[in-house]
Amino acid sequence: MQRSNWVTDMERRSRTRYPVELRVRYRTLGRGQRIVGTGHTLNLSSQGIFIAGQPEIQPGMKLEITIEWPARLNDTVPLQLMMSGKVVRSLGTAFAVEFSHPEFRTMSTRTETTGTNGHWDRAALKALSSTGT
């Protein structure tokens, strides 16, 4: 009985993968076709991520990935995990990326940092100034 490639791939992993579902944005890096997409994580490890997203991504592509992190800095400032890496496997609209040097950054969005009139919200400015950004 032949085992599937998926099982073999799982056994080859040297890092533990954690099943988490977080919103993701990605874009291709380098020359060539520009692709921008969104999706969600299926699992994550210290050096790899498996993403379900649109549009389809092919193996070999280099991506910049931004993950909306669920925790907030000082319970107020949204965080994002940024990384770049290379697509090592693609299965339809899901793809695996091997990455290095992930980095947390503060994330400010107009809806979270500005009031309805478009001016900076006082609480958001205070939170940003306390983090040194």
Check pLDDT > 50 for residue 4. Answer: no
Lowest-pLDDT choice from 31-35, 47-51, 67-71 = 31-35
> Does pTM surpass 0.85?
no
- pLDDT, tens digit, 9 for 90 and up, residues 7-46: 445 445 567 999 999 999 999 998 888 999 999 999 999 9
HSE-CB at 36 with a 13 A cutoff on CA atoms is 0
For the chain, the structural domain boundaries read 5-108
Q: Average model confidence (pLDDT) for the chain?
A: 79
The predicted pLDDT at position 13 comes to 54
Architecture of domain 5-108: Beta Barrel (2.40)
Burial profile 59-95: b = 16 or more Cβ within 10 angstroms, e = fewer: eebebebbbbbeeebeeebbebbbbbbebeebeeeeb
